[in-house]
C-alpha cells in the first residue's frame, strides 16, 4: 500500500516542484517511518505533526474506532490541517483507515489522499 501511494502521487503530481504532504497516522505508523522512507527519493516532502498535534490525531483516531464521528477532536484536527495549509502544505495523507473517514468533516482546500482507496483502485485496474 505504501509503495502504491508513492507511485500514485508521483503520477498525479508530475510537477517537479516540492510538494509538502502532511502525514496523518497513528503514532506507531509515524515512528515506523514507513511513509517517510518511501517518499525519500521523490519531490514530496513529508511533514509530520509535533507531539502535541500527534495527540490530537491519536485521540481523533481512537474516537473514530469507537464509532464516535461527532467528537471534539475532529474540529481540532481540521484546525491543525488548515494551519499546515497556511504554512504551504498542499496535501493530507490519511495513513490509517480512520483518517479518511474524517475527510468529509474537514473544511480545507488541501487535497485529501486516502492510501486505502488508492490501493483499491489499483486492485480494480489489475483485475480488469
pLDDT, one tens digit per residue, over 39-74 is: 998 889 999 999 999 999 999 999 999 988 888 899
Domains within the chain, CATH numbers bracketed:
2-122 (3.40.50.1860)
Cα–Cα dist 104/7, whole Å: 25
Angle among Cα 119, 31, 55 to the nearest 5 degrees reads 95
Confidence at 18, pLDDT banded by 50, 70, 90? low
3-state secondary structure of 40: coil
Asked if pLDDT for residue 13 goes beyond 80, the answer is no
35-to-1, 19, 83, 97, 120 alpha-carbon distances in Å: 10, 15, 22, 15, 18
Cα–Cα dist 60/65, whole Å: 9
3-state secondary structure of 104: helix
pLDDT at 16: 53
Is the pTM for the entire model greater than 0.85?
Answer: yes
pLDDT, one tens digit per residue, over 69-110 is: 888 899 999 999 999 999 999 999 999 899 999 999 999 999
Check: CB of residue 103 under 8 Å from CB of residue 24.
no
Amino acid at each position: 500500500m505504501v509503495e502504491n501511494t508513492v507511485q500514485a502521487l508521483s503520477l498525479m503530481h508530475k510537477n517537479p516542484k516540492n510538494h509538502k504532504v502532511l502525514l496523518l497516522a497513528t503514532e506507531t505508523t509515524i515512528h515506523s517511518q514507513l511513509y517517510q522512507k518511501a517518499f525519500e527519493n521523490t519531490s514530496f516532502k513529508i511533514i509530520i505533526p509535533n507531539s502535541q498535534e500527534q495527540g490530537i490525531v491519536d485521540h481523533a483516531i481512537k474516537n473514530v474506532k469507537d464509532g464516535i464521528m461527532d467528537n471534539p477532536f475532529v474540529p481540532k484536527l481540521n484546525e491543525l490541517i488548515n494551519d499546515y495549509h497556511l504554512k504551504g502544505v498542499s496535501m493530507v495523507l490519511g495513513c490509517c483507515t480512520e483518517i479518511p473517514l474524517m475527510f468529509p468533516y474537514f473544511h480545507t482546500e488541501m487535497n485529501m489522499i486516502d492510501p486505502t482507496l488508492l490501493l483499491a483502485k489499483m486492485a480494480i485496474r489489475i483485475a480488469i
